[in-house]
Chain A
Amino acid sequence: MSIRDDWIILDTNVWIFGLRRIPHLPACAELLQNLNQLRVVLPRQILQELQANLVDDELRALFRLLNRLPIAPKIDWQKAAPRIVAKYQRMGCKLGDAVVSAHAEEVGIKILVTENRDFLEELTGLPFRRLRASQAMAELRAANPR
């Protein structure tokens, strides 16, 4: 199994850094360029965060792009179950991160790509891998030696 075979969540920061083309995090933009090789899940919390950051036109353009992907992304507007959110809060997640983690568990996600240090460095015992965008790009290159 490679990163191309697993359904993955790109955290909001990866979408936003990628669209902003933040100079010292070029892998975020690179990942967006390579979305056609990924199986992307967009859970409710991240959808709402994107709505908060993008204006309507930008959001529509993003969804038009997502609709062109060879593997249709999973758009999941379901609220995560409060008991699962609470479980992740007990594990040390802040409420918002607990919601993302609960979504990931419910959808069976194995990989969260994020630049959020709370996810990357602080939390242990989560049932999904946390990768920086640069690590995700490295795995993608390794899986696709073109």
Chain B
Amino acid sequence: MIKNHLALLPILIPLTGAMVALLLRKQRRLQAGWTLGTMLTAFAASLWLLAEIWGSGRPAVFQSGGWPAPAGITLVGDMLSALFVVMTQLVMVTGILYALGSRDTVVKYPTFFPLFLTLAAGLTGAMLTGDLFNMFVFAELLVISGTMLTAMSDDRYGAEAAYKYFYISLLASFFMLLAVGCLYVSYGTLNLADLAVRIDTQGARLLLWPGIAFLLVTFMVKSAVFPFHFWQPDFHTAAPTPVSAMLSSVVVKLGVYGFLRMTTLLFVAQAPLIQAVLVGLGVIGVIFGGLSAIGTHNVKRMLAYSTLAQIGFILVGIGWGTPLALAAAIVFAFNHSLIKAAMLMLAGYIASRASIKSAAFEVVTGVGKPLPGAGVLFFVGSLALAGIPPTNGFVSKLLLFNSGVEAARFWALFLIGLASILTLIYTIRAFGRIWWQPPAAGITTKPAGDRLLAPLILIGLVLLLGLWAEPLVGVAYETGLWLGDPAGYVQAVLGG
């Protein structure tokens, strides 16, 4: 009984915490401390949830109000949801740590920390819910919080980037509503498990394919998959550092989660076509993202394009669809969140030390000379992004390529293997410009800036998960097996 209620905690704790944090808006230090405490508690609760599910081998299903599944609102924590929630909340904790040590004015606004918590609640909720419409509601909460955090950024283009993103997101949420309508009119339910059963038994109805297409587009916009990526580099560059580290690492994983659910639970019979689309777009994303990242003149923008490429790798893994490839995609998603959050924080740290607060190459060239500590962290992060041992990036790429060989998909493998060299080129070039080149005339390094604690923790985890990868890989294998058996999920939700 306790176990089923655990699925509620990772959502409820940040949501309640956000309300209390709003009440504490006059006491800034107390509010910041409260936010960190809330997020740590939520992280502990999600770890507990994962441990319980892992231990008992059954999903935790919470039927709110005691109404049984297809009628009531259901929260489902299976291995996939729990693992993604753990990843989200871990990165969110470091984001708050970074915000606590940040010198931006944005973190001093009374609504900054409450919005951060609602961002966490929205993302967690969208991953734990067992109902398509609730996923829409939580995704909207996430989008609105993220946009507000960007709109009040120190960057003077924050409002424009926020407008661009929010506009696209509103359109995406209309698409999601259309998908909800198409699926509801065809099958008469919105509960994911019930929907999966009915689509399986009743076969394809007239509006099934439009529903699939609308849902695909929605998740592609959420994940910034090529060709729906155009808002992402602006948005991730203009956001305040702690927020952009969240947006580019965990928030884009909502789409990844959606694709996993679509191909392994909802549309199992229709999955081959969806997977083919995902592999195609993933390969294009890897190549396009890599080339665009090489062509940028701003570290943050480079990392945002790099997210496009890395999401491409994950999509290719989902598209291959074997249990091994799904496990590889999940490991890749988890590791990418840690690496990308750390790298964006380091980029923000460098920008906070530069003479004007910007991560453009002409401003930050040579700024790293007196900062060898940050240089080491950035170098390890670059290695991880490019997939070189002893980092976790190596583990994820090894698993992905391994699964590609096993699935005998050599063309896609060849293309993404070739494109992953691009990663090495742009990260090492950024490292060289910031830490090796002599600063240009008039470029000085400020004596103080943001604190390095949060990226230090993340890079520590990157190395730890690179040297001791068994636990994560084991959990991901188990998750891949669970995803191969949607009947277990359905049975846990609907009973019987």
Task: Tell whether A pairs with B.
Answer: no
| Chain A positions near chain B (C-beta within 8 angstroms) | none
